[in-house]
Amino acid sequence: MNLRAPKGTDDILPPASRRWRVLLRSWDDWSERFGYDLVQIPVFEMTEVFARGVGESTEVVQKQMYTFTDKGGRSLTLRPEGTAGVVRAFIEAGGAGELKASYAGPMFRYERPQAGRRRQFYQVGIEYLGTDSPDADAEVVEMGYRYLADIGVPGLVVRLNSLGDQECRPHYLETLREWLRERIEQLCEDSRAALPVNPLRVLDCKVCQPIVADAPSPVDHLCDPCASHFETVKGRLDSIGVPFELDRRLVRGLDYYTRTAFEYIGTELDAAQNAVGGGGRYDGLAEALGGPSIPGVGLALGIDRIVLSTEDTADLPAVLDVYVVVADAELRGAALDLLSTLRRAGLRADTSPEQRSVKAQFRAADRNGARAALIVGDEWGEGKVAVKDLRNGTQLTMHSEEVAAWLSSR
């Protein structure tokens, strides 16, 4: 077959996909614990949502969007990220009060594919809309940290910075622009082009890192309200025991950020792709989309990178409570009825799709990590089955009606 998955995309099959399931379940659990409700948004949006939201001067909008014209002549774009879409949805729904949104799904960026940098990748994220309280920033940073620590990302570090707001940022940008102009000869072509439009892009440029190492940082140019907001965020994080490092260079690759910006770094990953997640505050985003002023803060984590960073831990086996072994082909119908009963009772139960030797069925039970095997055979005439504990090898016989309760109690 010469048909292949498109460049930069992955098929996630068992057993590797079992780790994904664990990570996504844990994400649901942690985001619910922090009070974030599920929000589903389209996988594609009007191109304007990202052009205005993420920002015309960003690499994402300039080079990485999957944009197409649909049959109705509209310009649409596969979402490169979730924040702009969630804010668009909140405005469309009236934008009143607060929204704590949790989302998960594939995102699309036309990147040069490599490990941890894919054209289709999977993000989980939260957005806390309708408040500019620094307590919300601290909560968001904490939630991402607790989740990543819980699933065991090795060498997890939180990097934190503040980017200022519409009051102090323009002054800072002027200072930065001046500083960069004095070194324009040393900057790469992309950075020179970005300088008049958005000099922050230069700080983010991989090529220009050595040159900008001593550039002025936004955190040294905060106005009083931004400085005090940042102090409160740091104080709260200290108080709830979330460790962080101040990173004066951190600016993030998307234009909507104001004030708090942060990233989660996993040390097991290549330096270029070592961010397992990132986020920040974006108090001007709703207005940039043409809506009212709605402050917000959020984060997104890259599941593909999290899987990479925890890859050393072997693929997980399937976990079944019970595997139904059909010892006699005549009893297959009865065994399948019993299987259905077990599943409806909440047990993780399975069997082979067709009649095979008993030995082959026990091998399958093992392969699937079953805790017990239930053998439908000789005793069926008396309404009984044999249950074998596959961990210690003990076996007992019981009435088929007792099986579900017995297995559930183990």
- Give the residues lining the site for ligand HAM (CB under 6 A): 81-83, 109, 111, 116-118, 121, 123, 125, 127, 253-254, 275-280, 282, 298-300, 302, 304-305
Cβ 133 to ligand HAM, closest distance in Å? 16
Among residues 199 and 302, whose Cβ is nearest to ligand HAM? 302
Kindly tell me which of 127 and 283 has the beta carbon lying closer to ligand HAM.
127
Query: Minimum distance between the CB of residue 124 and ligand HAM, rounded to whole angstroms?
Result: 9
Nearer to ligand HAM, 134 or 277 (CB): 277
Output 148 or 242, the one with its CB closest to ligand HAM: 148
Query: Is 53:87 a contact under the CB 8 Å cutoff?
Result: yes
Alpha-carbon 49 to chain mean position? 21
How is residue 34 written in tokens?
């922090």
CA distance linking residue 289 with residue 300, whole number of Å? 20
Widest pairwise Cα distance in the chain: 92
How many other C-beta atoms can be found within 10 angstroms of the C-beta atom of residue 177?
Answer: 15
Residue type, 209: Q
**The two structure tokens encoding residue 186:** 């040393």
Between 224-239 and 134-151, two packed helices, what is the crossing angle to 10 degrees?
40
Query: Minimum CB separation from ligand HAM for residue 129, in Å?
Result: 10
Which residue pairs, CB below 8 angstroms and at least 24 apart, start in 351-355?
A: 351/323, 351/324, 351/325, 351/326, 352/326, 355/326, 355/329
Q: Please, what sign has the CA dihedral across residues 303, 305, 307, 313?
A: negative
Min CB(80)–ligand HAM separation in Å: 7
Closer Cβ to ligand HAM, 143 or 365, answer by number: 143
- The minimum distance between CB 269 and ligand HAM, in angstroms, equals 9
Rg of the chain over all Cα atoms, to the nearest angstrom: 27
- Residue number with CB closer to ligand HAM (77 or 83): 83
Q: Which is nearer to ligand HAM, 283 or 321 (CB)?
A: 283
Spatial contact of 172 and 164, defined as CB atoms under 8 Å apart: yes
User: With contact defined as beta carbons under 8 Å apart, do 184 and 192 qualify?
Assistant: yes
Nearest distance from residue 30's CB to ligand HAM, in Å?
Answer: 16
- Location of structure tokens 């104001």: 258
- By beta-carbon distance, which residue lies closest to ligand HAM? 302
State whether residue 299 is helix, strand or coil: strand
Judged by beta carbon, residue 277 or residue 380, the one nearer ligand HAM is: 277
Shortest reach from residue 102's CB to ligand HAM, in Å: 11
For ligand HAM, the closer CB: 275 or 373 = 275
Of 149, 152, 136, 131, the residue nearest 34 (C-alpha): 136
Evaluate whether 334 touches 384 at the Cβ level (below 8 Å). no
Query: Closer to ligand HAM at the Cβ: 108 or 380?
Result: 108
User: Considering the complex, what minimum distance in angstroms separates the CB of residue 252 from ligand HAM?
Assistant: 6
CB of 29 to ligand HAM, least distance (A): 20
CB-count burial class (<10 Å; 0-12, 13-18, 19+) for 262 = buried
C-alpha span between 323 and 381 (Å, rounded): 20
| Neighbouring C-beta atoms of residue 92, cutoff 10 Å | 10
Residue type, position 124, single letter: V
Tally of residues, the chain: 410
Nearest distance from C-beta of residue 294 to ligand HAM, angstroms: 13
C-beta closer to ligand HAM: residue 233 or 300 = 300
Least separation in angstroms between residue 116's CB and ligand HAM is 6
